[in-house]
């Protein structure tokens, strides 16, 4: 529970006493007197409004001016009383006190206010009370029927409030709620509130405590606790227990965890959580975060004891210790240099999936880097290592890249707008078992854009790149293994032409632009003694059609002569709708053997690639990426995405059909479809439905043949209630992913989030799966 009003109230009650003096001349009828700072006593011009004696300088320090206005002011010199009545308003600095009557007793140093008492605080909080009494140098005080409106519109009320020693504020029979009152019936209980026999705010300890507290939801008591505490609003972070977690699953049994948050300093904190699984072992999770003046460091991980694991290859369970570790750090050394580390590791391939510690992945990476940002250049030195999460693929064949260095530089525009660009690369790659490679690459290109007299746009690029390789354990075509040294010089010239046409219609405009690129380079230049490490997984689509070198990385070059041609067109409505289409093809003078079957470039005529985007209105969006056979226009790759409807009712469908990538055997043919429905049932209730299914062919019992199957990957239903003070989310999900001891399962969960109190999450039921 946040207690901002309690803190601000304490600041008001702890204010030093103020000696009030009435102005020399009494106000005329209808005017309000104004309080001034202490002054030497003078005989008042109007006897019925005498001025009190001024305090000596040693009695009270100099204070801010105090102003007040009232309908009537009385002073009793014998009793030492100053009484202000009727629409009394006192202000000092940013604090304002409103009341029907305010009385100050000089002899007892006691000030009282009664009748519609309102105190406005600098932080935006407002305190209401029927009666306020401040005494003993205003260190002690008493309020009756107190009500507080906090800066975030939360509400706190109590029968009485007492201030002790200028530090401690005690509210008796208090009630707290951040919920707005019911508009139809403000006396009705809010959605939730906390009633406590005593609410105590200690400024020195920066703590708000609740004793004998009961939480009510819609007026129904649901949770009682003899004591709990929260930090006061002045504390951004405080150590303490967080909401416990719980659940049940077939893989891990019942689960319970109690996280604890620790503040280690103004720039760092940590969270630890011991978790007990009835059949999944004992787990300890932790997270550490630290911020520096020039960077950050985040680390989290877990260790699980007595966890039995098995794989699809070795189904015999093995009990032992399992773990994961994830760290991310980045530091700016100066204005030009930055260093960082991003590392994720796990004890075995199925640990993360079984305990739901990360999204499904085929591998984990560790990346350390240093990068330089120049005015017209960029440099990077990195090291990479990989951990396989695929069953049967060991880490001994994974590459260790240390170091790999890149540098790019671009010149200022030269004559006629031309630019010169230079780049360089060095790589050292090794494996425990497999090919080791060292590479040095340097290159440069000159680019000149120009136009012709009829509107044609041209771009001339001339470039050259040199590569040198030294490899060990290189396997050649004849299955022999040797150490080899190889090199190449790759010159290439390309000229791109496009001729944009624009047509302005009524309420719309249309563009059509044919594009042609001619690229020429020597043939070959990809000898077998140059290993292919970073040019695998090539995918030919509309985005790579007009690239001079369509291979990613450095190890393969797009040699030979070719012509790329295509068309881009679009229709754009004045109201914002649009339809855009890009389609094209490539023709090569000779077949490039490095484009393997299935790549779309294995023939002289390439497959036809394109992308269609239709957005007639913001509530409708359709995209279609495709690759069609050059001879029969049969679909080879396609991705379809569509969403329709406003936020109140939105439908989305996403279809993926990707053929096997020939030079990346682990990337098999994929056919998947995902559907999503989002709807707002009421201003407070919303619903989401989601499902993902896989239609990829699987090997049949007949060698060389496959069969089509439909396999569930994931589906779920999420129901959410959310208003100004509470959020309730419940979800029913089912996963069909299976890998070793990570098995498919269904889970029913709910999470309740109370404003200013945090969240309570509990897994009601789970059948199979992780967690």
- For 7-21, the three-class secondary structure string (H helix, E strand, C coil) is HHHHHHHCCCCCCCE
Lowest average pLDDT, out of 231-235, 364-368, 583-587, 747-751, goes to 231-235
Cα distances from 274 to residues 99, 322, 493, in angstroms, run: 54, 15, 63
Q: Are the CB atoms for 9 and 148 separated by under 8 Å? A: yes
Q: Phi/psi zone of residue 618: left (φ > 0), alpha (ψ -120 to 50 degrees), beta?
A: alpha
User: How confident is the model over 548-558, as pLDDT tens digits?
Assistant: 999 999 999 99
Helices H / strands E in the chain, number of each: 2, 44
User: How confident is the model over 63-102, as pLDDT tens digits?
Assistant: 566 677 899 988 888 888 889 999 999 887 777 889 999 9
Q: What is the pLDDT of residue 64?
A: 60
User: How confident is the model over 266-295, as pLDDT tens digits?
Assistant: 999 999 999 998 888 999 999 999 999 999
CA–CA gap between residue 460 and residue 279 (Å, rounded): 67
Nearest to 301 by CA among 280, 276, 321, 283: 283
- 417 three-class SS: helix
- Overall average pLDDT of the 219-248 stretch: 80
User: How confident is the model over 401-412, as pLDDT tens digits?
Assistant: 999 999 999 999
Q: Are the CB atoms for 583 and 512 separated by under 8 Å? A: no
* The token pair that represents 601 in the structure block: 């470039």
Lowest average pLDDT, out of 10-19, 431-440, 573-582, 752-761, goes to 10-19
CA–CA gap between residue 141 and residue 134 (Å, rounded): 4
User: How confident is the model over 21-34, as pLDDT tens digits?
Assistant: 333 233 333 333 32
Q: Is the pLDDT of residue 736 over 90?
A: no
Q: What is the pLDDT of residue 498?
A: 96
Q: What is the pLDDT of residue 663?
A: 55
- Overall average pLDDT of the 168-176 stretch: 89
Give pTM, 2 decimals: 0.76
CA–CA gap between residue 208 and residue 210 (Å, rounded): 7
- Overall average pLDDT of the 151-169 stretch: 83
Q: What is the pLDDT of residue 212?
A: 95
Residue 297 exposed, middle or buried by CB count within 10 Å (0-12, 13-18, 19+) = middle
CA–CA gap between residue 382 and residue 400 (Å, rounded): 11
Q: What is the pLDDT of residue 60?
A: 41
Nearest to 150 by CA among 208, 93, 197, 205: 208
Residue 12 CB partners (closer than 8 Å, separation 6+): 95, 119, 121, 127
Element (H, E) at 4: helix 4-13
Percent of the chain exceeding pLDDT 90 equals 48
Cα distances from 720 to residues 215, 219, 386, 706, 758, in angstroms, run: 21, 21, 39, 42, 17
DSSP 261: E
Q: What is the pLDDT of residue 314?
A: 63
Q: What is the pLDDT of residue 708?
A: 58
Cα distances from 265 to residues 237, 238, 286, in angstroms, run: 10, 10, 17
Nearest to 162 by CA among 181, 143, 147, 189: 143
Q: Phi/psi zone of residue 537: left (φ > 0), alpha (ψ -120 to 50 degrees), beta?
A: left
C-alpha 107 chain-centroid distance? 60
Q: Is the pLDDT of residue 348 over 80?
A: yes
User: How confident is the model over 93-146, as pLDDT tens digits?
Assistant: 777 889 999 998 888 878 899 999 998 877 677 889 999 988 776 678 899 999
Q: Are the CB atoms for 365 and 358 separated by under 8 Å? A: no
Q: Are the CB atoms for 308 and 317 separated by under 8 Å? A: yes
- For 23-71, the three-class secondary structure string (H helix, E strand, C coil) is CCCCCCCCCCCCCECCCCCCCCCCCCCCCCCCCCCCCCCCCCCEEEECC
E-assigned strand segments in 499-598: 501-505, 508-520, 561-573, 578-588
CA–CA gap between residue 71 and residue 88 (Å, rounded): 7
- Tracing tokens 């003046």 back to the chain, one arrives at 293
CA–CA gap between residue 151 and residue 138 (Å, rounded): 25
Q: Rounded to 5 degrees, what are φ and ψ at 9? A: -65, -45
Q: Is the pLDDT of residue 53 over 70?
A: no
* The token pair that represents 284 in the structure block: 């300890």
Cα distances from 64 to residues 17, 77, 118, 255, in angstroms, run: 11, 25, 21, 59
Residue 524 CB partners (closer than 8 Å, separation 6+): 559
Residue 384 binned pLDDT confidence (cut-offs 50, 70, 90): very high
CA–CA gap between residue 748 and residue 764 (Å, rounded): 6
* The token pair that represents 253 in the structure block: 């049994």
Which residues on adjacent β-strands are paired with residue 504? Answer: 509
- Tracing tokens 């009510």 back to the chain, one arrives at 216
- Overall average pLDDT of the 432-460 stretch: 95
Residue 667 binned pLDDT confidence (cut-offs 50, 70, 90): low
């Amino acid at each position: 529970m946040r207690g901002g009003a309690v803190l601000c109230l304490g600041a008001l009650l702890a204010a030093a006493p103020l000696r009030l003096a009435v102005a020399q001349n009494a106000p005329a009828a209808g005017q309000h007197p104004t309080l001034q700072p202490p002054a030497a006593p003078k005989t008042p011009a109007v006897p019925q409004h005498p001025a009190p004696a001024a305090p000596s300088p040693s009695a009270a320090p100099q204070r801010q001016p105090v102003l007040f206005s009232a309908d009537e002011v009385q002073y009793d010199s014998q009793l030492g009383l100053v009484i202000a009545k009727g629409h009394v308003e006192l202000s000092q600095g940013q604090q304002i006190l409103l009341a029907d009557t305010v009385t100050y007793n000089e002899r007892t140093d006691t000030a009282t206010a009664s009748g519609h008492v309102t105190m406005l605080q600098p932080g935006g909080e407002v305190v209401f009370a029927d009666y306020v009494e401040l005494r003993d140098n205003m260190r002690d005080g008493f309020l009756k029927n107190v009500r507080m409106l906090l800066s975030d519109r939360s509400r706190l009320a109590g029968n009485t409030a007492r201030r002790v020693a200028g530090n401690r504020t005690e509210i008796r029979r208090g009630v707290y709620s951040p919920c707005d009152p019911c508009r139809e019936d403000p006396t009705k209980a809010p959605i939730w509130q906390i009633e406590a026999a005593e609410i105590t705010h200690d400024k020195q300890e920066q703590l708000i405590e609740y004793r004998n507290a009961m939480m009510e939801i819609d007026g129904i008591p649901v949770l009682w606790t003899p004591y709990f505490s929260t930090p006061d609003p002045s504390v951004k972070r405080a150590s303490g227990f967080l909401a416990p977690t719980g659940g049940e699953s077939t893989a891990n049994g019942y689960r319970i965890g109690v996280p604890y948050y620790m503040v280690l300093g103004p720039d760092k904190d940590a969270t630890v959580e011991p978790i007990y699984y009835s059949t999944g072992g004992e787990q300890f999770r932790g997270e550490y975060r630290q911020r520096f003046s020039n960077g950050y460091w985040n680390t989290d991980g877990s260790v699980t004891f007595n966890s039995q694991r098995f794989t699809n290859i070795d189904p015999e369970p093995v009990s032992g210790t399992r773990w994961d570790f994830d760290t991310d750090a980045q530091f700016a050394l100066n204005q030009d240099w930055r260093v960082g580390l991003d590392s994720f590791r796990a004890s075995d391939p199925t640990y993360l999936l079984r305990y739901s510690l990360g999204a499904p992945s085929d591998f984990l990476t560790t990346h350390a880097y240093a990068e330089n940002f120049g005015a017209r250049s960029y440099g990077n030195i990195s090291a990479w290592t990989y951990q396989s999460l695929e069953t049967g693929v060991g880490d001994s064949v994974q590459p260790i890249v240390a170091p790999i260095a890149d540098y790019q530089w671009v010149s200022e525009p030269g004559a006629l707008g031309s630019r010169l660009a230079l780049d360089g690369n060095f790589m050292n790659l090794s494996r425990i078992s497999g090919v080791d490679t060292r590479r040095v690459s340097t290159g440069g290109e000159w680019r000149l854009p120009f136009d012709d007299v009829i509107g044609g746009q041209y771009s001339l690029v001339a470039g050259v790149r040199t590569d040198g390789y030294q490899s060990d354990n290189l396997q050649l075509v004849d299955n022999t293994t040797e150490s080899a040294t190889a090199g190449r010089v790759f010159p290439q010239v390309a000229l791109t032409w496009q001729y944009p046409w624009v047509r302005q219609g009524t309420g719309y405009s249309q563009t059509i632009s044919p594009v042609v690129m001619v690229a020429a380079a020597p043939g070959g230049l990809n000898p077998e003694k140059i290993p292919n490490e970073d040019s695998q997984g090539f995918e030919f689509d509309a985005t790579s059609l007009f690239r001079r070198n369509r291979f990613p990385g450095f190890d393969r070059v797009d040699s030979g002569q070719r012509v790329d041609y295509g068309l881009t067109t679009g229709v754009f409505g004045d109201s914002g709708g649009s339809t855009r289409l890009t389609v094209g093809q490539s023709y090569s003078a000779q077949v490039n053997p490095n484009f393997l079957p299935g790549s779309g470039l294995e023939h002289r005529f390439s497959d036809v690639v394109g992308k269609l985007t239709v957005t007639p209105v913001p509530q409708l969006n359709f995209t279609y990426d495709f690759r069609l056979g050059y001879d029969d226009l049969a679909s080879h790759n396609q991705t379809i995405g569509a969403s329709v409807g406003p936020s109140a009712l939105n439908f989305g469908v996403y279809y993926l059909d990707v053929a096997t990538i020939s030079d990346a055997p682990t990337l098999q043919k994929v056919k998947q479809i995902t559907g999503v429905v989002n709807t707002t049932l009421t201003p407070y209730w919303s619903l989401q439905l989601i499902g993902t299914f896989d239609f990829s062919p699987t090997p049949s019992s007949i060698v060389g043949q496959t069969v089509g199957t439909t396999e569930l990957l994931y589906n779920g239903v999420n129901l959410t209630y959310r208003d100004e003070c509470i959020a309730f989310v419940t979800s029913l999900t089912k996963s069909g992913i299976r890998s070793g001891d990570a098995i498919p399962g269904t889970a029913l969960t709910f999470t309740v989030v109370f404003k200013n109190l945090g969240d309570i999450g509990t897994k009601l039921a789970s059948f199979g799966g992780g967690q």
